[in-house]
Amino acid sequence: MSRHSADTRRRETSVLNQALAAAGPTRSGSRQQWRGTGFGTQVWVLTGRSVRTAFGDFKLVFFGLLQPVVLLLLFSQVFKSVGTLPGVVTYQSYINFLMPATLINVAMTTAMSSGIGLMAEVYTGFVGRLRAMPISMFAVLLARTLSDAIRLTVQLVVIVIAAVAFLGFRPGTVLGLTEALLLTVVVGWGVGWVFVAIVTWQRKAEVVQAISFIVMFPLMFASSAYMPVDSMPTWIRFLARGNPLTYAIDATRALALGRPVGWSIVWALSLVTATALLGGTAAARNFRRAS
């Protein structure tokens, strides 16, 4: 952002009295008043702000990118023997089976951080200022989830590059991989609304964290993420087949590895859309100006 040099404009605190006219409100026709802007601009400006914040902090960027790489490294080694199971052996190596699921896992982690990030803003009081401004509260939530989707995209690209370069992941086609990444971003964005809804419902950090983990772990582990569903105990298999993430993981895996997608992508997109609608509606309802 352009700004005059601080050196050339050094001024003392008492300058306030000399320049008060600038703060004045109404009488001069030349002094423009602004009375709000459209929903699209609100979302655009707030998304830009969140993206700049997310990528403006080196530590946040570094550890945010490192986390999925570490996850992938750990899972690919700890669960290596899973690669010999009947449902996995056709994928040539466990990393090929695991990688698409890790993408969804990263999406889930980022979705959870959407809620945590929103909570931080509520705590700083910045959201309180926005509540007294002529802007839509839904724009605040939408911007939050969109900026996290952008952050997720960057994370996914980094992890794919790392997996191809160091862990021997071999995607089917570039187009299929791109479609898998897009689907993952959509899934992350949709599920993010659930976590945002949780934050707008329960604003105590410890409670939110507890609920978020209760939501996240069963969804990830009772799914086709790390094991073929058929190799699971019966009751977990039943849960996994009803788990929306199973469809998202199956679709991502099929797209990324160039295998037949079937109906899993339709189920995945339908369930994500439903999740986003439900989560978004609940979040918007909870987050509206207090009654």
Partner 1 sequence: MQRPRIEVDSLDKSYGPVNALVNVTLQVGSGTVLGVLGHNGAGKTTLIDVLATRTRPTRGRAAVCGWDVVKSGHQVRKHIGMTGQFVALDDAMSGYANLVLIARLLGASTRQARARADELIDTFGLVEAADRRPVTYSGGMRRRLDLAASLIGRPEVLFLDEPTTGLDPISRSEVWTLVEKLAVDGTTVILTTQDLMEAERLANDIVVLAAGNIVASGTPEQLKAGLGQRTATVTFANPMAMYSAVAVFAGLGMSPVPNEALCSVNGSIPAPGDIATLVRALDAADLEIQNLTVTEPTLNDVYVALHRSGWKPG
Binding site for partner 1 (CB under 8 A): 1-4, 6, 9-17, 19-27, 31-37, 41-42, 45-46, 49, 52-53, 56-57, 121, 124-126, 128-135, 289-291
If the CB atoms of residues 4 and 86 are measured against partner 1, the closer one turns out to be 4
If the CB atoms of residues 19 and 165 are measured against partner 1, the closer one turns out to be 19
Question: CB atoms < 10 A from the CB of 185, how many?
Answer: 20
Closest separation in Å from C-beta 140 to partner 1 = 10
If the CB atoms of residues 59 and 165 are measured against partner 1, the closer one turns out to be 59
Secondary structure letter of residue 274 according to DSSP: H
Helix 205-221 × helix 94-124 angle, to 10°? 160
In Å, what is the CA distance from 135 to each residue of 38, 49, 80, 118, 127?
Answer: 8, 15, 51, 17, 11
Closest separation in Å from C-beta 55 to partner 1 = 11
Helix runs in the chain, H state only: 39-56, 58-78, 94-124, 126-131, 137-166, 174-201, 205-221, 234-242, 244-257, 264-287
If the CB atoms of residues 53 and 231 are measured against partner 1, the closer one turns out to be 53
Closest separation in Å from C-beta 158 to partner 1 = 22
Closest separation in Å from C-beta 284 to partner 1 = 15
Find the farthest-apart pair of alpha carbons in the chain and give their distance in angstroms, rounded: 80
If the CB atoms of residues 57 and 230 are measured against partner 1, the closer one turns out to be 57
Closest separation in Å from C-beta 286 to partner 1 = 15
If the CB atoms of residues 7 and 84 are measured against partner 1, the closer one turns out to be 7
If the CB atoms of residues 41 and 92 are measured against partner 1, the closer one turns out to be 41
In Å, what is the CA distance from 113 to each residue of 20, 54, 174, 186, 199?
Answer: 42, 11, 29, 16, 11
Token pair recorded at residue 83? 């690669």
Q: Which of 10, 8, 237, 279 is nearest to 145 (CA)?
A: 279
**Concatenated DSSP letters of 224-259:** TSSS-GGGS-HHHHHHHHH-HHHHHHHHHHHHHHT-
Closest separation in Å from C-beta 64 to partner 1 = 14
Closest separation in Å from C-beta 63 to partner 1 = 16
